[in-house]
Structure 1
Amino acid sequence: MKVPNGPTAPNGAYRLLARALTAGVLVSASACSLPGVVRSADAPSIVPPATSATPSLTDAQASAALITQGELGGRWSATQGGATWRDGLLKTRTDAPDCQRLLDGLYAEDLLGEPTGGRAVVGLDESGNAAQLRYQVAAYAAPSEVDAKLAWLRTLPSKCAQFTSTDVRGGRLNVTVVPTVLPGVGDAREGLRLTMSGASAADAGDGSGAVPMLTLDFAAVRVGDRAVSLTNGGLGGAAQDSTQQAVQVGTQRLQDVLAGRPPTTAPASPTTGPGDPTTAPATPTTGPARPTTGPGRPTTGPGRPLTGRPTEPLAESPASTGNNTTDSTTADTTDTTDTADTADTADTAQEG
């Protein structure tokens, strides 16, 4: 019996169907490998192109917003370098964490944190009490970052009202922290005054042998995500009016720079320079003094003849008649009345 095979056989239909299915799978797989054909599961996510953020403060703007020595008065000048008391008094240790953070921040000059944008710094020295002022304009990551630092600073007059720290020689310092009042400028602000005393005399650094008393102001004002900050003080004290003036003038200057306006404040005239006179030089109320009258001296200068006869005749003694006649004739030769007096005198002599 012949067994059928080939396409006519029942199994042949199954073979044709299997070949068709296999070919479809191969075509589908090859299509996935064709260039330009990407399956949805393998498609990368669409990422928008990154845009460069415009800095909120450039270095040039920060420099333009710095205060000048003239705006604080003639006592201030460009700094001659860091004061020697910084290492001796600020680089100390204490067991209170917040107070240590305050000392470290004052020493490193970063109580507001590290700036993330433009920044500029200026240092000034004061001749009256040897104080130093360090003024900085800088941009930070966000306003909330600056506000967090200001809020922490606000707690220090209670947390660190009084504490002790130890210097590198083992000397103990008494430290106090109190709040200070600042002008109502900017978006937020905070001020502190720190005093330190009781260290060894060698920490003074000036050879005076006196135990130092450091007074140091710190002030900060936020304007958006920018801020101005300063320290002002020294062993001779800290003038609070200088701190307030720097905050007032500096904040306004920063706002002007950010708005593209010219600064509204102008450098003040030095207070130690020659002052402008408040009034014009006084005009003399009288002319040069005339010579006093006496024997042989006319009562008026040359060229100003007498205008009339004296209201009472001069009383003359016979002994002095000759001298008076000569004086009258010499001094009053241009006066006709005095000439007549001379004639009368001559007549009197003849009669005698």
Structure 2
Amino acid sequence: MPAAWMAGWLAVLAISALLTWGARHYALRRNLLDQPGARRSHGVATPRGGGIAIVLTLLLAGLAAAVLWPGARMALLVSGLGLVLVAGIGWWDDHRPLPAVRRLLVHVVAAALLAGLVWQASGNPWQALLALLFTTSLINIWNFMDGINGIATTQAILAGVAFALVMPPPFALAGIVLALACLGFLPFNYPRARIFMGDVGSGALGYAIAALVCLASVTTDIHWLLLLVPLSAFLVDAGFTLLSRMLSGQRWMEPHTQHLYQRAVKRGAGHTLVTALYFVFGLFSITVFNACSDLQPRWEAAVAVSWLTLTTGLWLLLRKGMRNQKDC
């Protein structure tokens, strides 16, 4: 491995950690604190907005990539603009809460930018439409699932590694940089949370991971269903929890503690343990993904459907075991 690449990766890690430290001091000065409550999973007031460090690190890395690969400048500019939009509306919401519809509109615009890149690269409008819907969904899924120490960050690290392992160079660097940017933030958030990611970070992470999925869809021959496998823990927990809330007539956009990981915490499992269990499941997911990424498309789709079905069954089994836990 060239020493220059190693130095660059260490720089990404250091910049993210330094910016997180700065974000924490900014939040303390501005009194940007998440207070404990019935619909939250933490017990002490904690600074928020630390995810801005991950966003800025990714933008700086994108700037460096634009210098190294001039041919990719337009794609980097468009995807970077989408990241700024998602992070910007999240930063605003962290300081002054906004209506959910207003945030969603910005998310759709950012997703449309990414979908446009997919259309340009693939020439397939249906693939672009799928990218639009998927990106909009994943921005909000990552936001919904960022409820306990380290869970959103560790799952993002796993996703970055998973896609870096299957994409050709230099595209694989996008996954490595995302994983390192998250790794620099992680010690401030796990196992003890000295700062939360905030909406600025959780939504932006969802967008960044969606961008990785879209990049993998146009730079590899992997079936799009298999590309969902590294994200299966979050997709299943968020998807079915939100579906159950909708079917029961609840206001699904409101904060709650009904996700499986939140129910586990309410039953007495610590943040550290629950995040670790999700991480272990994520390791299994990316192992299946990597092992099956060279199969014929129909077999990749079959593996993906089987894995997502298995994940859904596990979710239903665990949720049934917690059915006596009072919802909030």
TM-score normalised according to structure 1 size: 0.26
Higher relative contact order (CA 8 A, sep 6+): 2
**More strand per residue: 1 or 2?**
1
Structure with larger Rg: 1
TM-score normalised according to structure 2 size: 0.28
